[in-house]
């Protein structure tokens, strides 16, 4: 599916579900990783994660498009368009859009593991872990007052 087909699908869904035309642009944005789509308030265009179509099916893509169209139509009519508003939740349930986008393969691999620096006190022997390195000559142990050594 390309951007022109997505535009036609969105215009069709907008007329069928909301009885209002979609008069702005929608396109795929491959930089989206953890979200299904994004509605831009400043110029009213919509970005859609292409993985919603390639990793899932057309029905999932339609649900994500309906979700973004709820934001779009509520914003243009002057209603509360945010996720927590009752207007948004009621309209989303009425048209059958998805509340949450399914997790994609890129969203799952995005989690990073933290690297820790391990230090040991020369006096009492306590071990501590820190995410950032610190100057061992400057800081001392709060229990005994001795300096630390790096144990990585």
Round to whole Å and give the CA distance between 69 and 147: 60
Round to whole Å and give the CA distance between 122 and 109: 39
Q: Pick the catalytic residue from 11, 16, 23, 68.
A: 68
**Biggest CA pair distance of the chain:** 75
- Is 68 annotated as catalytic? yes
Helix runs in 19-148, H state only: 51-54, 58-76, 86-95, 105-108
Query: Which residues are known catalytic residues?
Result: 68
């Amino acid at each position: 599916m390309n951007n022109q087909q997505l535009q036609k699908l969105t215009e069709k869904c907008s007329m069928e579900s909301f009885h209002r035309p979609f008069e702005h642009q929608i396109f795929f944005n491959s930089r989206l990783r953890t979200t299904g789509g994004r509605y831009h308030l400043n110029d009213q265009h919509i970005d859609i994660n292409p993985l919603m179509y390639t990793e899932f099916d057309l029905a999932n893509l339609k649900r994500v498009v309906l979700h973004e169209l709820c934001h779009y139509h509520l914003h243009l009519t002057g209603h509360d368009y945010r996720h927590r508003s009752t207007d948004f939740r009621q309209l989303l349930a009425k048209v059958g859009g998805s509340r949450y986008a399914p997790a994609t393969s890129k969203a799952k691999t995005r989690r990073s593991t933290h690297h820790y620096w391990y230090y040991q006190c020369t006096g009492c022997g306590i071990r501590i872990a820190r995410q950032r390195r610190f100057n061992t000559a400057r800081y001392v142990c709060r229990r005994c007052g001795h300096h630390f050594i790096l144990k990585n």
